[in-house]
Structure 1
Amino acid sequence: MSGGGFSKLPNGTVVVAVSLPSPLGDGSPARYLVHAGNRARALTRLRNLGLRSVYLRGNAEPPTPDEITAVLHHPDGLLWRLQAPTPPGLWHPFRFRASA
């Protein structure tokens, strides 16, 4: 499972969203959001946190306005939440993965 996209903001930075397996290890899908100076830096931030095989091919699933707002209001600019057929869960800082 992988899908994602990006949105370039008026100030020149980007928000990248990718769908990958959950950091909980249960195989459920999760949506990761990263705010960075450019797409390459956003993907590097994810890779540095242990998501080694993260690539962004195309822009099929860009972040929604609500997702952009969530990541811009987080001090680290890096969030994830479960994607389920039911309404998605709450946003979590990526630090949660390190303590799980």
Structure 2
Amino acid sequence: MKTIAIAAALAVAAVSAPAFAQDHANHAPAAAAGKLSVESTPIGEIIKNEKAKEALEKAIPQIPQFYDQIATMTLTQIAPMSQGAIDDAKLKEIQAEFDKL
């Protein structure tokens, strides 16, 4: 039920996002230890870094309300449940911001 609520809320909040591509082969492998990754860093760890949390909330303003439900998941894992709100382009955008930190 929580999954449906998350998906519905993210879908409603999405202004215009292309369908989520299922192929993740083009993503770069997880960064070196200590680096944040949309593929391997749990959201609960991302939000412990204030700058990363700011970047995440800038990219996905509606996400804070779900932190308690998705803290153990990665952004890549929640993307398919977002009904297009978090697509490959959004993941790449967020990863680029993490890489700057």
- TM-score norm. by structure 1 comes to 0.28
- Larger RCO of the pair (alpha carbons < 8 Å, separation 6+): 2
- TM-score norm. by structure 2 comes to 0.28
More strand by share: 1
More helix by share: 2
